[in-house]
Amino acid sequence: MTTMARDATTASAGARSAGTPTGPARVPPGPASAAAGAAGGAEAVPGPAVSSGAAAGRGSEIRRHELATFLRSRRERITPEQVGLPRGRRRRTPGLRREEVAQLSAVGVTWYTWLEQARDIQVSEQVLDALARTLLLDAGERAHLFQLAGAVDPSPAAQCSGITPALRLMLRQLEPVPACVQNSRYDILAYNRTYARLMMRDLDTVPPADRNCLVLAYTNAEWRESIVFLDEAMRLMAARLRVSMAGHLGEPAWKMLVKRLRAESAEFREIWERYEVVSARGKTKQFVSPYVGLVTVDHTDLWLAPAQGARMVTYPPADEQSRERLERLHAIALEAEAEAEKESETKAEEAGAV
């Protein structure tokens, strides 16, 4: 983004860390209740008492079974090759095995099995996030997963209601200047067409959960190759993240980001342990675009909501050659967009003909 066998001890430890099984909720039957008739002399009719607690328990059980079915269906549709695993000769299970999902998500096999069995266990946002990435869920499926689990999705894609149509229009009108909207966690919440192709061939191809400048700078080969002074950029971003994180230490999204970076990047672990801090400041940067080559820009932050850390990041050209190359990059983006629209129209026409 590995040895599949896990012993029972490891699985149980993973289960204890991920959630505690409590068994299905059982509600003893209550006494019969009597309802008075509309007319005063009507005889009372006995009937079962339905408490709000019993109804809530049944609703929770239904959600657990829906969650179990949803997870199984998504596990069975993914081939081992899609997640970098060998198929093997004796595979009979359609899609991935339970132990494969558990390993890729860093949870216990027993715990994940309980989850697919609709056991009454607690599941954290971090585990749901890992499962969503392992099962390659799209935005709608990810939202459904969190809803079934009764949890709040901490990802930026679920929390970017502040990206208004007017703000998206502003991003487009800034072209050919590359621009995006980020929060203080470096989540890329919105961007224009030039920005999408400045540091890689197409940012649209990156899953929303991975559209984070730190994640890309530390783990994405294409993004890393585009940054001329990569070591300095990684160090400064980690130092700025530590400053911003001081006000969000207990928030799941922040803890999840650091945990993910520490797990996926030895470089981040080493830099993070330095405890460096640095304030935000403008800076001249250089990128090597896969389309137009070297571009020198002036990084400028336009703060939208300082209290929340939201900002519009712009990259105006620092010299004439960079200006020309950004204009060429914008033209390439427009051409690609026109081709995609034409292809979409052709497919729609073909579907209509059938």
pLDDT in tens, 172-193: 999 999 999 998 899 999 999 9
Question: Binning pLDDT at 50, 70 and 90, where does residue 306 land?
Answer: low
Average the pLDDT over 2-13 and give the result. Answer: 38
Most confident of 34-48, 271-285, 299-313: 271-285
* 204 vs 82: which has the higher pLDDT: 204
pLDDT of residue 157: 55
pLDDT in tens, 218-263: 999 999 999 999 999 999 999 999 988 888 887 778 888 999 999 9
pLDDT of residue 175: 97
pLDDT in tens, 26-67: 333 443 333 333 333 333 344 444 455 566 667 688 888 888
Closest-CA residue to 186 (of 250, 109, 238, 126): 238
Q: Which residues contact 332 (CB under 8 A, 6 or more apart)?
A: 197, 291, 292
DSSP letter at 187?
A: B
Q: Give yes or no for a contact between 3 and 97, defined as CB atoms under 8 angstroms apart.
A: no
Closest-CA residue to 64 (of 101, 119, 12, 142): 119
Question: Binning pLDDT at 50, 70 and 90, where does residue 19 land?
Answer: very low
Q: Give yes or no for a contact between 122 and 139, defined as CB atoms under 8 angstroms apart.
A: no
pLDDT of residue 247: 80
SS3 content of the chain, % helix, strand, coil (to 5): 50, 10, 35
pLDDT of residue 285: 96
* 84 vs 89: which has the higher pLDDT: 84
pLDDT of residue 320: 98
Q: Which residues contact 204 (CB under 8 A, 6 or more apart)?
A: 196
Residue 270 reports pLDDT greater than 80: yes
pLDDT of residue 152: 73
* 330 vs 134: which has the higher pLDDT: 330
Indicate the burial class of 191 (C-beta count within 10 angstroms; 0-12, 13-18, 19 or more). buried
pLDDT of residue 177: 97
pLDDT of residue 9: 39
Angstrom CA distances, 182 to 43, 196, 325, stand at: 68, 14, 24
Residue 2 reports pLDDT greater than 60: no
Alpha helices in 34-138, H assignment, sequence order:
52-77, 98-105, 109-116, 125-134
DSSP letter at 111?
A: H
pLDDT in tens, 327-347: 999 999 999 999 988 888 888
Most confident of 138-142, 266-270, 341-345: 266-270
Provide the percentage of residues in the chain whose pLDDT is more than 90. 42
Output the average pLDDT for the chain.
80
| Two structure tokens written together for 78 | 């993914």
pLDDT of residue 309: 67
- The DSSP bridge partners found for residue 182 are 188, 311
Residue 25 reports pLDDT greater than 90: no
Query: What is the distance of C-alpha 11 from the center of its chain?
Result: 26
Rounded CA separation 207/241 (Å)? 22
pLDDT of residue 159: 53
* 280 vs 70: which has the higher pLDDT: 70
Provide the percentage of residues in the chain whose pLDDT is more than 70. 79
